[in-house]
Every structure is written in structure tokens, then in C-alpha cells.
Amino acid sequence: MNPKSFVSRLADVALPSVFNPYNDRCSVHDRADAPARRRKNLELFIEAALDNRVRTIWIARDLGYRGGRRTGVALTDDVHLEDAGRLLGGITLQRATRGPAVAERTAAVVWKVLGELEQPVFLWNVFPFHPHEPKDPFSNRCHTREERLFALPFLQMLIEMLRPEQLVAIGRDAQLALKDLDRPVALIRHPSYGGQSEFMSGLYSLYGVSGRPRTHKSTPL
């Protein structure tokens, strides 16, 4: 499996009440070539992770409608696309949406921590698409058990490609889903619903950082 064929397989998926950012186009927010841009973003992100020998994957639950649904990169909104490119050595990721850049609260906290840790990681979701309520495409819902099992082979293929030394589950829902892998997973509190402080302190502890680390703005990620 290589990044291009992996992304092509993702693009082939069609499920009810699920937006596939690598194939579907939002008539409200997307550019005309949005799916192609998101496919290229993810392909470049995976290639850069391989080139940089990234050994850690942070895994959350699903793509959100303000984040990965728009960018094609997990835990990343429009505002942090450039940060995602710098994280893995300076790749160029393109916006797939029109209008002002939209921010996502979870993405903001995740990228705040990544900017302070100064260590490259790969970002992913248990369910790498955007599940939404029926007839409400701009809503978020948790994926179902059936959807999780359907998406599990994608996670397994990704792990086989990247061969990470560590998996980090962002939130208990992600941790429970990752039990299907039968391998050690570090659990970090999800930053939503008042969990921001625990999320940040959990990652600082995991990476051996005491308290709030100092940000070195002159050093690219």
C-alpha cells in the first residue's frame, strides 16, 4: 500500500449520512475542485510522515464539519493548514474551501499543543470521514459500531504504512474503538466539554514536559 492508492480507496467510500471529503463536494463552502485538493493534502501528509519517519499517531473519533471535513487532514481546520504543513517538514497544503477561514475549537487546542511540543506526529481519526445527522450535513454525530468496523481496515493499512511506535487516543470514544487493534494505546482526555486543561497536561506528561513548555517561534516544526 502506498499513500496514493490508500487515498484512492478512501475516496471510493460512500455511506448514508456521511460526508466523504475525498470524494464529496459541499455546494455551500467548497471550491469546484475541493475533493481533489483534499485528496492531495492527505496524500502529501502521509508522504511527509513517511519521509520524516514519524513514529506517533494521534487518533481522535471522527472528522468534524468545521475541521477535517473541510481540509482533508484530521484535527486540522482551515486556520491551521499551514501549521500542518510545517509540522512535517514544510509541505504545502491547499485550502479546499471558499470564503473566510473557519476555525474549530478542538483543532485550535491540538495545534496549540503541537506548536509547543515541537515534535512531528501524524493525525488521524477512528472513522476518517464526517458522520452527520440525517438531512443536517453541518452537524456532528458519533460514528456507529458498524461504521467503525467498516473503517477499521483503513486504520490498519495506515499503521502498516507508517509503522508507528506509539498510538495516542484522543478521548475515550477513540480509545474504546482502538481496542479492536489489540495493541497498547495511550489515552489522553479529549479537549472538548471542559477537558482542555487535562488534554494539555496529559500530553505534556506523555512527552516528558513539565508544565507549560516554552514556545520557540524561530524554530519551524
Please name the residues in contact with 8: beta carbons below 8 A apart, sequence gap of 6 or more.
Answer: 39
User: Residue 179's pLDDT band (boundaries 50, 70, 90)?
Assistant: confident
pLDDT recorded at residue 215 = 44
pLDDT recorded at residue 211 = 54
Q: Is the pLDDT of residue 219 over 50?
A: no
Extents of the domains making up the chain: 3-206
* Mean pLDDT to the nearest integer, 68-78: 98
* Mean pLDDT to the nearest integer, 30-40: 98
Element (H, E) at 168: strand 166-170
Q: Are 125 and 68 in contact, with CB atoms under 8 Å apart?
A: yes
Neighbours of 210 (CB within 10 A): 7
3-state SS class at 167:
strand
Residue 32 per-residue DSSP state: T
Nine-digit cell at 67? 475541521
User: 136 forms bridges with which residues in the sheet?
Assistant: 133
User: Residue 210's pLDDT band (boundaries 50, 70, 90)?
Assistant: low
Report residue 218 CA to chain centroid gap. Answer: 25
Mean pLDDT of the chain: 92
**Percentage of the residues of the chain whose pLDDT score is greater than 90:** 82
- Give CA–CA dist 142/204, Å, rounded: 27
User: Residue 181's pLDDT band (boundaries 50, 70, 90)?
Assistant: confident
Of 183, 220, 192, 196, the C-alpha closest to 66 is 192
* Low-confidence winner among 64-73, 79-88, 201-210 (lowest mean pLDDT): 201-210
Q: What is the pTM of this model?
A: 0.92
Q: Of 45 and 193, which is predicted with more confidence? A: 45
Nine-digit cell at 132? 452527520
Q: What is the pLDDT of residues 91-144, one digit of tens each?
A: 999 999 999 999 999 999 999 999 988 889 999 999 999 999 999 999 999 999
User: Residue 161's pLDDT band (boundaries 50, 70, 90)?
Assistant: very high
CATH dotted code for 3-206:
3.40.470.10
Q: Are 151 and 185 in contact, with CB atoms under 8 Å apart?
A: no
